[in-house]
Amino acid sequence: MKNKKLIIAIDGPGAAGKSTVAKKLALKLNYTYIDTGAMYRCLALYVYENKIAIDDVASLVDAAQKIEIFLDKDGKVFLNGKDVTKEIRSVEVTKIVSPVSSPKEVRKLFVSKQRKLVNESINGVVMDGRDIGTVVLPHADLKIFQIASLEARVQRRYLENKSKGIDVPYEEIKNDIAQRDYLDIHKDFGALKKADDAIEFDTTNLTIDEAVLWIYNKALELM
């Protein structure tokens, strides 16, 4: 059937280029793009700004209930009405986002927010994260598990930071990514894991556009 509106889940480790690929793919398909990492980053930013202890689960859950997150169609992210697209990518937020997104109660709230966004979409959807294919959208039409070598991911993040005028040493980025991988993989709930029916997709030697085209062609096969 042509023109079937697909639900596409893209999971994988940090800095593997998921968000960039997912956003471009959604644009190419005229689908809604939902960046679930950005949602957890909003919570982490709120926690950071309000000096909430990252091991104070009750306060994390309270914050998760209180905050309003809005993702607009151009990829801008709003927290309680304020544009935080840049702030949520800061080193400070990146350092705490994995533990902040770990408690079961926080994940329950976010998973239901994410499913609601999909249900409300009149379009097809591209959603990226860590647990989309396994937990949030187990019935997605297409599941991609996007990976890249640690070196390639560090290099990409390093160049991305540099282009934004953010100066973080290569070794520090490498340590942060490796540590976040560890935390994301070892979460009790919503851990980073390939769904049994996901396609593993290694982008180490691919450009962004090549990666987008590859997933796009897979999607066309299913329409």
Residues forming contacts to ligand DC in the complex (CB under 6 A) are 14, 36-37, 40-41, 97-98, 101, 129-132, 180, 184, 190
CA dist., res. 185 & res. 127, Å (int): 19
- Give least dist CB 136 to ligand DC, A: 7
Cα angle 83, 85, 87 (rounded to 5 degrees) comes to 95
CA nearest to 146, candidates 157, 161, 158, 130: 130
> Nearer Cβ to ligand DC, position 187 or 219?
187
- Give least dist CB 196 to ligand DC, A: 18
Indicate the residue type of 4: K
> Nearer Cβ to ligand DC, position 4 or 76?
76
- Give least dist CB 99 to ligand DC, A: 9
191 by Cβ neighbours in 10 Å (0-12 / 13-18 / 19+) ranks as middle
- Give least dist CB 181 to ligand DC, A: 9
Residue appearing with tokens 């950005």: 38
At 41, list the tokens.
């980053």
> Nearer Cβ to ligand DC, position 182 or 223?
182
Query: DSSP E strands: which ranges in 45-192?
Result: 69-71, 77-79, 82-83, 125-129, 142-147
> Nearer Cβ to ligand DC, position 4 or 182?
182
- Give least dist CB 2 to ligand DC, A: 30
In this structure, how many other beta carbons lie within 10 angstroms of the beta carbon of residue 222?
11
> Nearer Cβ to ligand DC, position 4 or 164?
164
> Nearer Cβ to ligand DC, position 3 or 193?
193
- Give least dist CB 86 to ligand DC, A: 13
Residue appearing with tokens 């591209």: 126
Is 13 in a helix, a strand, or coil?
Answer: coil
